[in-house]
Amino acid sequence: MSRSFAAAVFRASSRYGRWILPINARPWWRAAVVAALLAVAAPARAEPIVVLGLGDSLMAGYGLSEGSSFPNRLEAALRQRGHDVRLVNAGVSGDTSAGGKARLEWSLAEAPDAAIVEFGANDGLRGLSPEAMRENLDAILTTLEARGIPTLLAGMRAPPNLGREYADAFQKVYADLAAEHPVVFYPFFLDGVAADPALNQEDGIHPNSDGVAAIVERILPTVEELLSRVKERQANRG
């Protein structure tokens, strides 16, 4: 850019508070300045909120058609309500809380803004120690908290055939962790769906498409609470 052209532009800018391009300026310089001004004036487009769905087959969408998993349906429901979000399906069928803890680090490669933690179904089906499950979930929540990732903890219930004592100890794990960590707590992921033949697949364990829809409808307000925490955190960061 010639010194005379640059000086003319900056003089006009200072005097009138806006850019005035000399008529005899070279076309490509005029185009370059206009493009630069448009880039400055245009507001930056916000990126969608990335939510990590960390869990087992209930998160992965076992037995469901493509696009019918919980993360897919939840993302669609949230977008319909005006939330710009992207759900990452980090569910692995058959996974226990120990498996979730083991793969947490590489699951965080997506750099999520929030997380939904859903484990315990396989711990219960295998009769694993509630105390061990507690340690695993505590480690997951501690890591997410240290990374500044707002988290929703979804609870689970033990199969009734394992006895009342086991069931009580199992359920207490989630309540205790919710009290110890700054999570959004949803006490039972399968609330309203468990044991209902119309909402489950033939195995009686995994929700069918209607079951997933019911889960999404019930958990939606709690997920929106999670998103409000994300937005508050983003606002505080400026």
Active site residues: 57, 203, 206
As a whole number of angstroms, the distance between CA 71 and CA 91 comes to 9
User: Which residues lie below 8 Å from residue 219, measured CB to CB, with a gap of 6+?
Assistant: 74, 154, 186, 189
As a whole number of angstroms, the distance between CA 209 and CA 213 comes to 6
70-80 helix and 209-237 helix, angle to the nearest 10 degrees: 60
For the four alpha carbons of 71, 189, 129 and 140, in that order, the dihedral sign comes to positive
**Quick one: tokens of 67?**
């696009």
Displacement of CA 167 from its chain's centroid (Å) = 29
- Residue pointed to by tokens 């999404």: 216
User: Cβ(216)–Cβ(73) under 8 Å?
Assistant: yes
User: Cβ(226)–Cβ(152) under 8 Å?
Assistant: yes
Nearest 5°: phi and psi at 187? Answer: -60, -35
User: Cβ(212)–Cβ(181) under 8 Å?
Assistant: no
As a whole number of angstroms, the distance between CA 206 and CA 190 comes to 9
